């Protein structure tokens, strides 16, 4: 075994060198820091589409990180495999005393880290996790009796009351930036080596647009307008710092800040309720008798329901990996209420397609639409896709962009009557909830 002792920083959902909590503590340890990234085959093998826009985004950001580390005389070690097996190999190549990382709150990630913690301990290696992708985590925002919140407004109030400069301070990584292990240049494995191929995609810029965010409360509901920050993919993979973004939101827009708090709320709901991945947070909602209409689900996926705002949203997501947030609510309500199709199917389809797929926000949003989640829309609230389009895309600009055949004989008739769908949903929900 090599004599020189090193510590590792394991990059995961934090692909940046600046204001990175775990990286800061690794560099501050005083030992040379070997940066590591693992393409986890347990995750990659589940992806059916080998032209995955998210894998390509990660790959692109790793190449940027690699260039930044090479400028510092170091290198990012990128491995492909199961994390447990990769670490078993790495401890034979390097004398590793500690492994630093930032915490992940998804159930599978927590299980993975628990297993590794035990294994590292057996090897005499400390495995240290830090809070980085949220402002508050775990028990930091809970009710007076120590139980987690399931309603957003009191959570938000406590979150804002607790917030001060201490929580928003950047981690000064640059002070210790010379602490990386000096290493010969390394290559990031090509996409093809990981089993994926390139796809044409324009990723949103990693910039904070003060003009857009200042007007966010006025523009965020109109899908034809460039009125949202488009930073969700960067938050998802940690190419920007949440602390920096919250400071920016504080200066520019309260409504936008509230959206960042929703993100943390859903993360902590998933952390405290890992069963919500596939079970309703309100158990009675698992008694709803869903329809199993494959033709309806296929039409929804393809954006061919005969409801133009629904179809525009689905086609936008299929083509770009993005869907406007207001439209996400409309299409989710349509699937779960009008078509009475299980929210889990919609959640899984979004998981395949969305560039910014975040398990906690996606499950939180779908359960909200279905009425089964925390702080959910009541079951009798059914979005009317016709009036939603009239209100939020009055000139059909968004609809015409994604459904060019709208208004012609080529556009399909509605696959379900709005009144029938709404009344069936109300009756079916009522029946399940009265049991």
CA distances from 23 to 56, 100, 109, 182, 281 (A): 24, 7, 19, 16, 35
Query: Which residues are identified as catalytic?
Result: 259, 262, 290, 325, 343, 366
Q: What's the pLDDT tens digit per position in 263-286?
A: 999 999 999 999 999 999 999 999
Alpha carbon 289 to chain centroid distance? 29
Mean pLDDT of 378-383: 84
> What pLDDT sits at residue 387?
98
> What pLDDT sits at residue 379?
78
Distance of alpha carbon 263 from alpha carbon 267, whole angstroms = 6
Determine the CATH number of domain 1-132.
Answer: 3.40.50.620
Distance of alpha carbon 285 from alpha carbon 283, whole angstroms = 5
Task: Point out the least confidently predicted range of 164-173, 302-311, 342-351, 364-373.
Answer: 364-373
Tell me, which fold does domain 281-430 have in CATH? DNA Cyclobutane Dipyrimidine Photolyase, subunit A; domain 3 (1.10.579)
Q: What is the mean pLDDT of the chain?
A: 96
Q: What's the pLDDT tens digit per position in 107-157?
A: 999 999 999 999 999 999 999 999 999 999 999 999 999 999 999 999 999
Determine the CATH number of domain 134-169+210-272.
Answer: 1.25.40.80
Q: 12-49 burial string, b = 16+ CB within 10 Å, else e?
A: bbbbbbbbbbbbbbbbebebbbbbbbbbbbeebeeeee
> What pLDDT sits at residue 203?
96
Pairing of strands 126-130, 77-81: unpaired
Domain boundaries, the chain: 1-132, 134-169+210-272, 281-430
Mean pLDDT of 409-424: 97
> What pLDDT sits at residue 434?
86
Cα three-residue angle 51-55-61, rounded to 5 degrees: 130
Q: What's the pLDDT tens digit per position in 181-221?
A: 999 999 999 999 999 999 999 999 999 999 999 999 999 99
Establish whether domains 1-132 and 134-169+210-272 are of one fold: no
Ranges of H-type helices in 123-206: 152-162, 165-168, 191-194
> What pLDDT sits at residue 381?
84
pTM across the whole model:
0.96
> What pLDDT sits at residue 374?
84
> What pLDDT sits at residue 378?
73
> What pLDDT sits at residue 376?
63
> What pLDDT sits at residue 162?
98
């Amino acid at each position: 075994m090599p004599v020189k002792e090193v510590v590792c920083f394991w990059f995961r959902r934090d692909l940046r060198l600046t204001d990175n909590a775990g990286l800061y503590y690794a560099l501050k340890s005083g030992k040379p820091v070997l940066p590591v990234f693992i393409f986890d085959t347990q995750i990659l093998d589940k992806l059916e589409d080998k032209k995955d826009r998210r894998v390509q985004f990660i790959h692109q950001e790793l190449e940027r990180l690699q260039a930044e580390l090479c400028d510092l005389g170091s290198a990012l070690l990128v491995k492909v495999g199961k994390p447990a097996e990769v670490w078993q190999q790495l401890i034979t190549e390097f004398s590793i005393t500690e492994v630093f990382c930032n915490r992940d709150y998804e159930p599978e990630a927590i299980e993975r880290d628990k297993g590794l913690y035990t294994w590292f301990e057996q090897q005499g290696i400390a495995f240290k996790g830090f809070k980085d992708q949220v402002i508050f985590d775990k028990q930091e925002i809970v009710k007076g009796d120590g139980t987690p919140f399931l309603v957003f407004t009191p959570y938000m109030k406590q979150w804002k009351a607790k917030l001060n400069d201490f929580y928003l301070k950047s981690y000064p990584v640059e002070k210790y930036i010379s602490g990386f292990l000096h290493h010969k240049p390394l290559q990031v494995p090509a996409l093809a080596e990981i089993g994926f191929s390139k796809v044409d995609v324009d990723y949103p810029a990693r910039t904070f647009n003060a003009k857009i965010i200042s007007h966010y409360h006025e523009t965020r509901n109109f899908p034809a307008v460039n009125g949202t920050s488009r930073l969700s993919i960067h938050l998802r993979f940690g190419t920007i710092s949440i602390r920096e973004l919250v400071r920016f939101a504080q200066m520019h827009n309260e409504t936008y800040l509230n959206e960042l708090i929703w993100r943390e709320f859903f993360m902590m709901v998933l952390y405290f309720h890992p069963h919500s991945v596939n079970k309703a947070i309100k158990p009675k909602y698992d008694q709803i008798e869903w329809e199993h209409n494959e033709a309806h689900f296929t039409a929804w996926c393809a954006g061919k329901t005969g409801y133009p705002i629904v179809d525009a949203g689905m086609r936008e997501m299929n083509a770009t990996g993005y869907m406007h947030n207001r439209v996400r609510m409309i299409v989710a309500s349509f699937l779960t209420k009008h078509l009475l199709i299980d929210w889990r199917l919609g959640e899984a389809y979004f998981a395949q397609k969305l560039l910014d797929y975040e398990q906690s926000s996606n499950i939180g949003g779908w359960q909200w639409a279905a009425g089964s989640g925390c702080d959910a829309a009541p079951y009798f609230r059914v979005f009317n896709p016709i009036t939603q389009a009239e209100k939020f895309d009055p000139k059909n600009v968004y609809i015409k962009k994604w459904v060019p055949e709208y208004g012609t004989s080529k556009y399909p008739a509605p696959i379900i009557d709005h009144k029938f769908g709404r009344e069936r949903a109300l009756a079916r929900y009522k029946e399940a909830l009265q049991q």
